Structure 1
Amino acid sequence: MNKLVSIITPCYNSEMFITETITSIQKQTYENWELLITDDGSTDNSIKIIKEFLLKDSRIKLFSIKNSGAAVARNNSIKKSKGSYIAFLDSDDLWFPNKLELQIKFMETHNYNFTHTSYKKISDEGEDLNLTVTCNDVLTYDQMLSSNKIGCLTVMYNVDCIGKIYMPIIRKRQDYALWLKILKINEVAYGLNVVLSKYRLRSNSISNNKFEMLKWNWLLFRKIEKLSFFKSLYLVTSNILIKIFK
């Protein structure tokens, strides 16, 4: 029997995108999944839209918390998950129909516990931007320190083998922090070089502000990873240069 996959989705004011996101999950060729949506205090119609899906699909579960940030929302869903695998999909991103099937086959064939894939970028309106992010075949902790090379919407990890791993509670870069945390346990992240997801490049996203990300990278390296002042400074500089010139 196919193992259960727990899909972790934080939601905040995503009424414009959440229907398409959920539908992309329902179209998966791998059908043994549960979708755990934690709403982070939305003030729009997100919850109303999600509840309409709940009435028709028992695999979808909705939880509500006061606005606390994506890390808290994701961790709430991880805590309540029951799957042998955990995967991530934000409320404005999309999966291709064979995403789960191909990635699980990749993991089970090679006995990999932590994997990610390639993905493409789309605009707010869903238009293809002709930008593809190709994953690395193998990534170690040290390789990941120079920049976050893993897309959150592409990740899957094996709970049965490495346990439930939670995101550090920081407002930004919490996914990056989680990958580093897993790499300390699992040592290697393996990449499946197939485009299986669509990342929505939001025009108002903080991730588009390269200099704003400086302080969040600094916090990650100093407070979460507890690296030295000079190593943190070196890594923050390396991160921002990669973002500017790539």
Structure 2
Amino acid sequence: MVKQFSVIVAVYNAQNYLQETLVSLQRQTYREFEVVMVDDGSTDQSAEIARQFCISDPRFRLLSTPNRGISPTRNLAIEHARGDWLAICDADDTWNPHKLEKQAAFIAAWDDRAHGPLAALGTAGYITNRFGQVRRVEDLGITTLEDYRYWRDEIGQMAMINSSVVFRKDLFFEVGGYRADYTPAEDTDLWTRLAGRGVVLNLPGRLTYYRMHGENISESSYVRMMLNARRVRANSGRRRAGLPEYSYDEFYAHLAEHPEQLARLLRQLRHEMHYYVARNRWNNGRRLGGLGRFLRATLLAPERSLRLLREGYLHRLRRGQAA
């Protein structure tokens, strides 16, 4: 049973979206929550926006630090959290009004004796652009115990929308919190380690809106993010085998033992990066920048780029979004 959620909002130069994010928290139909915000040295009006919510709503609190990065900022917020369950919401994302209500009901109905402890619970959702327009759905699966066991044991990585996840605070501290050296895959690393302490699932309902506005860290650090995702999987296996985990440099050195394979991997990731950025630029109305990035992706892998473009178009056509 959830006594209270502590919603964790790390804030850094988010003035364009923060108001909408915090209003979506206020509109939650489930009322038993607090919001712990940490301003990570913003140089815009983010802190002032957050401060106004603290004045008008006693559930909101604001801490401030010099800029340290996303993992230390979230860890600090969680140290000050009062709830027994934590909920992450990035400062540019939003929630369906019933999100916490549905997660609280699922947690209340969960049977620890039958299934083991529930460690974390996410949701499906939508990808939106900088204007808040839905561009595609994001359904990552892992909705059953069988899915959970397969992803934990066979894949070694848990797939969740970061801003959708609620998780147990006691288990968060048991596994050591967010680890900064995994940024920008620090969330995937956390969910995967939590999966070793309890069940990690996603609700199939689309209750989270993840904003891809073209300035996300996942875009600016795409290659490192994907290498860290591979490191998450490698270290998951190493933990099960009782071996020490790879640092980023150690993992890269391990990959470099096979230089031809590493070169192919890096080429693939650079292609994915250009295609990823091209799609985000296009979806945000920056059509010239999107075409330029798509050209760079096509130069690296012509057939794959055209196949992805065709698959994306057919998917939108099926959903009535091709225009």
Q: Same fold judged by TM-score > 0.5?
A: yes
Q: Aligned with 1:61: secondary structure?
A: strand
More off after superposition, 122-131 vs 36-45: 122-131
Higher mean C-alpha deviation, range 205-214 or range 87-96: 205-214
What is the SS of the residue equivalent to 1:181? helix
One-letter amino acid matched to 1:213: M
TM-score by length of 2: 0.66
Task: Name 1:38's counterpart in structure 2.
Answer: 38
Task: Report the alpha carbon displacement of residue 215 of structure 1 after superposing the two structures with TM.
Answer: 4.5
In the other structure, the counterpart of 1:223 is 247
> Which residue in the other structure is 1:176 paired with?
188
Out of 176, 190, 211, the position equivalent to 1:200 is: 211
- Closer, same or farther: CA 144–114 of 1 in aligned 2, 3 Å: farther
Matched, 1:142 2:153: yes
SS of 2:83's partner is coil
The equivalent of 1:133 in structure 2 is 139
Cα RMSD between the aligned structures?
A: 3.2
- Name the counterpart of 2:162: 152
- The letter of the residue matching 2:47 is I
- Please tell me the residue identity of whatever aligns with 1:106: F
In structure 1, give the amino acid aligned to 2:107.
Answer: M
C-alpha distance 144-93 of structure 1, shift in aligned 2 (>3 A): farther
List per-residue Cα deviations over 1:127-180 (Å, max 9, x = no partner). 11133334321324335536x5111111111236x3535101224211111112
State the structure with more CA Rg. Answer: 2
**Structure 2: segments with no counterpart, 5+ residues:** 112-117, 236-245, 276-303, 309-323
Change (3 A) 1:144 1:97: farther
The answer to which of 103-112 and 15-24 deviates more is: 103-112
Mean alpha-carbon deviation: is it higher for 122-131 or for 65-74? 122-131
Structure with more strand by fraction: 1
Which digits, 9 at most, give the CA deviation of each residue in 1:7-43, with x for residues without a partner?
Answer: 1110000111110000000000001101001111000
Identity %: 25
Partners in 1 of 2:180 and 2:24 — Cα distance? 28
User: Runs of at least 4 residues of structure 1 off by over 2 A?
Assistant: 130-135, 138-146, 162-165, 208-222, 226-230, 239-246
Taking structure 1 as the reference length, the TM-score comes to: 0.85
What's 2:57 paired with?
57
CA distance in 2, matches of 1:74, 1:126: 24
Verify the 8 A CA contact 1:95 1:196 in the aligned structure 2.
yes
Could you say which structure has the greater relative contact order, defined with CA pairs below 8 angstroms and 6 or more residues apart? 1
Structure 1's 156 and 143: CA in aligned 2 closer, same or farther, altered over 3 A?
Answer: farther
- Which runs of 5 or more residues in structure 1 are unaligned? none
Specify the code of the residue in structure 2 equivalent to 1:155: V
Q: How many residues align?
A: 242
Change beyond 3 A, Cα 1:105–1:144: farther
Instruction: Tell me what 1:115 maps to.
Output: 121
Note the alpha carbon deviations across 1:169-212, whole angstroms, 9 max, x for none: 224211111112211222x3122100111000121323236434
- Measured against aligned partners, the alpha-carbon deviations of 1:95-144 in whole angstroms (never above 9, x if no partner) come to 00000000111122124332111011100111111333343213243355
Partner of 1:78: 78
- Greater helix content: 2
Match of 1:190 in 2: 201
